[in-house]
Amino acid sequence: MSELPVRTERLVVRRFAAGDVTAFAAYRSDPEVARYQGWDAPVPEAAARRLVAGFAAAEEGKPGWFQYAVERDGVLIGDVGICWAGNRMQAEAGFTIAAAHQGNGYASEAARCVLDRVFAAGVRRVSAECDARNTASARLLERLGFGLEGHRRRHTWLKGEWTDDLLFGLLAEDWRGATAGPSIFACRPNLLVANLVASLGFYADVLGFEVGWRWSDRQARFLTDDEPPEPGTALVARDNVQVMLTQVAGAHPTRLHLDVHTAAQVDRLFREWSGRGAAIAEPPFVRPWGMYEMRLADPDGTVLRVSSPAP
Ligand SMILES: CC(C)(COP(=O)(O)OP(=O)(O)OC[C@H]1O[C@@H](n2cnc3c(N)ncnc32)[C@H](O)[C@@H]1OP(=O)(O)O)[C@@H](O)C(=O)NCCC(=O)NCCS
């Protein structure tokens, strides 16, 4: 296994250290964070110190739990736990992010980094469970590619009541299918045009292309079929070829759209190309039109937009 820490786009995934006790005790003491978890809030500082000392001393990949600390801008914001089975081929996962940092994709980003390590170490299957009312957790697991495998009714005695559990599983081949294999499956030129209506007329009426979606810059949304065209971007397609047309005034660099199946593959290309020294002008994030996109320029200034559907 590669050495910790690992840097992701926005986070550092690392071992726990003694300096984490206060931040760890603070987010685990939040009753909302603890609501569906096996521990009770608040977590006293002394208990946090014992737990953090145990995490810091644990060996990654050895049977039992290993807890990864998740850091953003030098601040501990959560943890991802992996419990390796005795056979080291199966594992269980758990995730916690401080309430103030939830809803930004940090749990997904940290979990992807940890799952990459776990599957690279030869694990065949990762299981996860959550309280059936814990929708944020179920959504996270689905976003990561876990399949729902069961619903155990009134199975766990938790905080004074019998609760339902959802059971999830993720196989190594699912993970490889989502994150490995060919990443870039199409390249679409994005032509910059002076007048979108005139260009659509040429491609549609003269060359026989179909007009696909049309995006209005002014309204920041896709237009419906019956709305008149407006400056923005449109897609035209014929046979197996798609061309994007964008109305912009003045001279601009050429654009190419590189289409990628999944956000995990965009993240992987971001890591690969950053690691090889590419200057990524805009790291991946979800754009207003729903695509997860990063942007970089080649030496001549041609802009490469690399995108997948949003996670
Ligand atoms: C479960 C838990 C870790 C999920 O955290 P989260 O922040 O919701 O998860 P993510 O990091 O994947 O963020 C996803 C959300 O951020 C949004 N988001 C914003 N920017 C994003 C980006 N760049 N990438 C992905 N998602 C992004 C998503 O739209 C999504 O919102 P939605 O849930 O409203 O659809 C968190 O709720 C938690 O710590 N709960 C308490 C502990 C717990 O119960 N753990 C689970 C035990 S099994």
User: Does the N-terminal peptide bond of residue 44 adopt cis geometry, omega within 30 degrees of 0?
Assistant: no
- Residue of 55, 101, 58 whose CA lies nearest to 76: 101
Instruction: Round to whole Å and give the CA distance between 31 and 15.
Output: 25
Residue 225 pLDDT? 87
Residue 173 pLDDT? 84
- Residue of 105, 76, 82 whose CA lies nearest to 95: 82
Select from 3.40.50.300, 3.40.630.30, 1.10.3720.10, 2.60.40.10 the CATH code of 6-178.
3.40.630.30
Residue 77 pLDDT? 98
Contact 93, 140 (CB under 8 A): no
Residue 120 pLDDT? 86
pTM: 0.68
Contact 72, 11 (CB under 8 A): yes
Residue 180 pLDDT? 60
Residue 277 pLDDT? 87
Residue 265 pLDDT? 85
Instruction: Round to whole Å and give the CA distance between 95 and 109.
Output: 11
pLDDT tens, residue by residue, 49-95: 999 999 999 999 999 999 999 999 999 999 999 999 988 889 999 99
- Residue of 79, 66, 74 whose CA lies nearest to 24: 79
Pocket test for ligand 1, best of 70, 137, 308 (most atoms within 8 A of CB): 137
Residue ranges covered by each domain of the chain? 6-178, 184-309
Class of domain 184-309: alpha beta
Residue 185 pLDDT? 79
How many CB atoms are located within 10 Å of the residue 166 CB? 21
Which residues make Cβ contacts (< 8 Å) with residue 249, sequence separation at least 6? 194
Residue 304 pLDDT? 92
Q: Is 39 in the pocket of ligand 1 (CB under 6 A)?
A: no
Contact 109, 267 (CB under 8 A): yes
Which residues make Cβ contacts (< 8 Å) with residue 136, sequence separation at least 6? 102
Using the atom order of ligand 1, give the atom closest to the CA of residue 36.
44
Amino acid making up residue 83:
C
Pocket test for ligand 1, best of 35, 101, 109, 140 (most atoms within 8 A of CB): 140
Ranges in the chain, pLDDT < 70: 178-182
**Cα-to-centroid distance, 33 and ligand 1 (Å):** 12
User: Does the N-terminal peptide bond of residue 5 adopt cis geometry, omega within 30 degrees of 0?
Assistant: yes
Residue 269 pLDDT? 86
Q: Is 156 in the pocket of ligand 1 (CB under 6 A)?
A: no
What is the full DSSP assignment across 120-188? HTT--EEEEEEETT-HHHHHHHHHHTPEEEEEEEEEEEETTEEEEEEEEEEEHHHHHHHHSS--EEEEE
Using the atom order of ligand 1, give the atom closest to the CA of residue 97.
39
